Amino acid sequence: MNLPNKLTVGRVIAVPFFIAAFMTEHYTIAFVLFALASLTDMLDGQIARKRGLITNFGKIMDPLADKILVYSALCLLIGNGTVPAWSLIIILVREFIVSGIRTVAASEGIVIAAGMSGKVKTVLQMFAVLMLILACGPLPALMKPGIILYWASIAVTAYSGCEYVIKNKQVFSM
């Protein structure tokens, strides 16, 4: 297994430890675990492209690892009342639509690359989660900016989903 794929697997392995730290109110540890896991998202892609180590495993697992990490955090933030549950539904609807379009396209031999708005969505979600984790624990003053960033991520999530559907509308006629 190459280094980028090891980083991706490491991100998934970090999730239960992040969850345990958050649930036991060790928010600083949860923050560090989430931050390190988020950094591996950036690193694995850069290393894979730079060294020509792009694999089918990485193409599938990298975005899945991101979702496992971010959605686990959002479930915890819903559980403690920081964010409303319906906001996660918006995120999940977007993901199911994008995944459905990708699946149909793949069945026709078409690969649809991730767009910039989808990458921005992921980064905004990760930063919002980081701020909200700190706001739950050692830095409560970050709650308002964290919530503002979270709502910005929801807006970009909705936008990127619409953009994805519009850019790939030909998939609906396959």
C-alpha neighbours within 13 Å on the C-beta side of residue 16: 3
Spell out the domain ranges in the chain.
3-173
**One pLDDT digit (tens) per residue for the chain, 174 residues:** 999 999 999 999 999 999 999 999 999 999 999 999 999 988 998 899 899 998 888 888 998 999 999 999 999 999 999 999 999 999 999 999 998 998 888 888 887 777 899 989 999 999 999 999 999 999 999 999 999 999 999 999 999 999 999 998 888 887
Q: In whole angstroms, what is the distance from residue 24 CA to residue 64 CA?
A: 26
What's the pTM? 0.92
Superfamily classification of domain 3-173: CDP-alcohol phosphotransferase transmembrane (TM) domain (1.20.120.1760)
Q: With contact defined as beta carbons under 8 Å apart, do 27 and 135 qualify?
A: no
Tell me the C-alpha to C-alpha distance, in Å, between residue 140 and each of 42, 78, 129, 136.
Answer: 27, 17, 13, 6
